[in-house]
Amino acid sequence: MAKHWDEAMIPDQSGKTIVITGSSSGLGLSTAMVLAGKGAEVILAVRDIQKGNAAADQIKRRHTNANVKVMKLDLGSQASIRSFAAAYRERFTNLSVLINNAGVMMPPYRKTADGFELQFGTNHLGHYALTGQLLPLLLQTSKSRIVTVGSLAARSGRIDFDNLDGSRGYRGFAFYRQSKLANVLFAKELQRRLAEAGAETISVACHPGIAATNITSRGSGNKSGLLLFLMKRLFQSAEMGALPSLYATTVPSLHGGEYIGPDGKGAKKGYPTFDTSIDKIYDPKVAKRLWEVSERLTGHRYSF
C-alpha cells in the first residue's frame, strides 16, 4: 500500500453512482464531499431531508458542478428501507457503490419502529436489509462494491444472541460494540457469499479510527466545551476519518474482504492501511449465525 494515501490519489469517479447512508454530517458528508468533487453522482441517503438538503448545498458550494441528490432513508424502519429501495430503483438503473456509513452511538435504551434495540437495529439490521434490497442493482453494475463502516469498538465486541433486543439488560457502549462487530462480520460474510456465487461485486469493511464527528455526542449534535477541546487534541478530523471509507470505495486493486483503517498507533489516527485485526474479529460460525438471525428478524433473504 502506498505511503500516506490521501484523496489526491483518488481516480476520476465520473460515471459512478454512489449511495452514502448518514451523509448529512460527519464522516458521511466528508466522504460525499470528496466523491462528488471527483465526478461521482452521489445520493445522500438521510433520515432528515432538511439536513440532507443543507449538506447537498454545502457540497455544491465547494464543487459547483457536483451531481448530488437527497433521498429519505430511516435505517431504524424496515418500511422506510423498502420505500427507499423502491424509490431508488424507479430513478436509477445501476449502483456502483453502496457505503453503509450511518450509525448511532450509545443512546439511552430505545427500540426501532420494528422493535429492535436501536443500535443493533440501525447500525446492523438496517444496513443488512438495505444492502439486500439494493443487491440486484449492485450485481448488475460492473465492478460494484459494498463498503461497510465499522469501528475500533468492534475489536472488543461480542454478539449476545440471547439478548439482542436488550430486554435482559442494556449497557450503551456494550451494545454499540456489538453493533459495530456485527458490521464487520456482515461485511466479511457478505464477501464470502459473493465470492461463492461468482459475483463481480465485492464487499469491503473499514473504520475511521477515532474521529471528531457528531456520533460521539449520542446523535444530539451537542458537545460541551471540554469535549470539543479533547476532541481536537485526541481525535482526528472527519476529513481524515473519511479516508479509509474513500480508500475502500475507490482503490481499484481491492479484491473484497479487506478491512481498512488508520495506520497510526492503535489504528486510532493516520492514513489508510490494511487493519489485520479482522483476522481475529471474524469468526465464521458467529458470522453465519448472525446472518441467519438477521435474515429471520428482517424477513429479507438475499438473492445472489
Q: Per the residue annotation, which of 88, 128, 176, 247 is the catalytic one?
A: 176
The predicted structure's pLDDT at residue 47: 97
What are the pLDDT digits (tens) for 213-266?
644 433 434 445 666 566 666 778 889 999 999 999 999 999 999 999 999 898
What are the pLDDT digits (tens) for 252-303?
999 999 999 999 898 899 999 999 999 999 999 999 999 999 999 999 999 9
The predicted structure's pLDDT at residue 137: 98
The predicted structure's pLDDT at residue 235: 79
15 backbone φψ class: left, alpha, beta (φ>0; ψ -120 to 50): left
The predicted structure's pLDDT at residue 230: 64
The predicted structure's pLDDT at residue 224: 54
**Residues 155-179: what's their mean pLDDT?**
97
**Residues 66-89: what's their mean pLDDT?**
98
Model pTM score:
0.94
**Residues 105-124: what's their mean pLDDT?**
97
Of the pLDDT bands very low, low, confident and very high (cuts 50, 70, 90), residue 210 is: confident
Q: Provide the percentage of residues in the chain whose pLDDT is more than 70.
A: 92
Q: Please confirm, yes or no, whether 109 is among the known catalytic residues.
A: no
The predicted structure's pLDDT at residue 217: 38
pLDDT at residue 128 is higher than 80: yes
User: Cα–Cα distances in Å, from 92 out to 127, 129, 208?
Assistant: 19, 19, 29
The predicted structure's pLDDT at residue 231: 60
Place of cell 432538511: 50
The predicted structure's pLDDT at residue 241: 92
The predicted structure's pLDDT at residue 221: 43
Q: Which domains occur in the chain, in start order?
A: 7-298 (3.40.50.720)
**Residues 188-213: what's their mean pLDDT?**
93
The predicted structure's pLDDT at residue 220: 37
